[in-house]
């Protein structure tokens, strides 16, 4: 679980989607996920600094959602070739993200 938190922290700290705007739909298709079940707000990708031809992509899918109150997400993290959008490696953890926060206000 600590490794998952570290990976997600790295992803969210420096995200980019400029290299291939159509990469995410192709990855979702390869994973055989329904696009409507993906939690788009948390989909992120980052080009690897030591390998510019590859990206790491986080695609969460909804397990359970109570509108505006609570959600549980599966985590899918993939290593992708930036030129072809082909998945080279994948990591999947079911029901790994939970949130019951309603809102944060200043």
CB 24 within 8 A of CB 43: yes
| Mean pLDDT for back-to-back runs of 10 residues, the chain (106 residues) | 58 49 90 93 93 95 84 94 94 89 66
What pLDDT score does 99 carry? 84
Yes or no: say if 76 and 59 are a contact pair by the CB < 8 Å rule.
Answer: yes
Q: Find the helix or strand (DSSP H, E) in which 96 lies.
A: strand 87-99
Cα–Cα–Cα angle for 36, 37, 41, nearest 5°?
A: 85
71 belongs to a structural domain: yes
In a domain? residue 105: no
Q: Collapse the DSSP code of 87 into the 3-class scheme (helix H, G, I; strand E, B; otherwise coil) and give the result.
A: strand
Say what the pLDDT of residue 18 is. Answer: 43
The domain containing residue 88 runs over which residues? 2-99
Structural domain contains residue 88: yes
pLDDT attached to residue 30: 96
Q: What is the tally of structural domains in the chain?
A: 1
pTM for this entry: 0.73
**Residue 22, domain member (yes or no):** yes
Q: Does a structural domain hold residue 56?
A: yes
Domain annotation covers residue 17: yes
Supply the pLDDT for residue 12.
Answer: 55
Report yes or no on 104 lying in a domain.
no
Assess if residue 106 is contained within a domain: no
């Amino acid at each position: 679980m600590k490794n998952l938190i570290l990976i997600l922290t790295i992803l969210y700290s420096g995200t980019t989607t400029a290299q291939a705007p159509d990469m995410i739909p192709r990855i979702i298709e390869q994973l055989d996920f329904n696009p409507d079940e993906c939690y788009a707000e948390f989909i992120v990708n980052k080009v690897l600094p030591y390998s510019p031809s590859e990206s790491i992509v986080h695609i969460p899918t909804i397990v359970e959602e109570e509108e505006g109150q609570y959600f549980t997400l599966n985590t899918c993290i993939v290593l992708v070739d930036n030129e072809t959008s082909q998945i080279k490696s994948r990591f999947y953890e079911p029901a790994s993200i939970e949130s019951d926060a309603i809102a944060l206000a200043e």
